[in-house]
């Protein structure tokens, strides 16, 4: 199985503040699969660290008052080029790029609303299922692990 993963979830220090969102055990869970890591914001040419950004009224604005819609859009296009042949995606929650189910409301007040980030929307348009890693329960993680191992085994036998 080919799985697109937000790079910060696998420990890449590409988060806006220079940190990462690494999940212990995630790399192990993905063993046997082809992993495609992407950070749409870095791919769009934005530096790390960078000012936090949120979506508002169809634009991407950061806390420095800049409109960074163009680099975000570029990053989505570049990330999608890599992810287009993936079977599914596992993404970092709440991000204006990677968030799947909920994102911040654009007021930089920590308020979450229903919605998805620009990369998650692009994946949806391509028909690639995207999952918010926070939404997966331990049981789902375990089931995903078993099912994906079987799938990998079948593919390996062909």
Query: What are the residues binding ligand SF4 (CB under 6 A)?
Result: 6-8, 14-15, 39-41, 92, 95, 97-98
Q: Work out how close the CB of 139 gets to ligand SF4 at its nearest, in angstroms, rounded to a whole number.
A: 25
Q: Work out how close the CB of 108 gets to ligand SF4 at its nearest, in angstroms, rounded to a whole number.
A: 16
- Closer to ligand SF4 by Cβ: residue 47 or 149: 47
- Closer to ligand SF4 by Cβ: residue 33 or 98: 98
Q: Please, which contacts does 116-122 make with residues 24 or more away whose CB atoms are closer than 8 Å?
A: 117/55, 117/91, 118/40, 118/55, 118/60, 118/72, 118/73, 118/76, 119/38, 119/40, 119/75, 119/76, 119/79, 119/80, 119/91, 120/89, 120/91, 122/76, 122/77, 122/79, 122/80
- Closer to ligand SF4 by Cβ: residue 41 or 54: 41
Q: Work out how close the CB of 98 gets to ligand SF4 at its nearest, in angstroms, rounded to a whole number.
A: 4
- Closer to ligand SF4 by Cβ: residue 42 or 148: 42
- Give the whole-angstrom CA distance, residue 46 versus residue 64: 14
Handedness of CA 13, 97, 16, 25 (dihedral sign): negative
Q: Work out how close the CB of 99 gets to ligand SF4 at its nearest, in angstroms, rounded to a whole number.
A: 8
């Amino acid at each position: 199985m080919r799985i697109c993963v937000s790079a910060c979830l696998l420990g890449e220090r590409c988060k806006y503040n220079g940190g990462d969102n690494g999940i212990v055990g995630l790399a192990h869970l993905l063993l046997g699969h082809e992993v495609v890591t992407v950070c749409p914001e870095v791919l769009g040419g934005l530096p790390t660290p960078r000012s936090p950004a949120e979506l508002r009224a169809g634009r991407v604005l950061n806390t420095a008052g800049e409109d960074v819609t163009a680099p975000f859009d570029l990053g989505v296009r570049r990330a999608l080029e890599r992810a287009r042949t993936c079977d599914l995606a596992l993404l970092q929650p709440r991000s204006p790029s990677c968030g799947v189910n909920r994102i911040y409301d654009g007021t930089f007040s920590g308020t979450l609303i229903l919605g998805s980030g620009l990369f998650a929307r692009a994946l949806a348009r391509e028909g690639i299922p995207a999952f918010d890693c926070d939404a997966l329960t331990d049981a789902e993680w375990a089931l995903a692990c078993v099912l994906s191992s079987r799938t990998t085994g079948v593919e390996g036998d062909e």
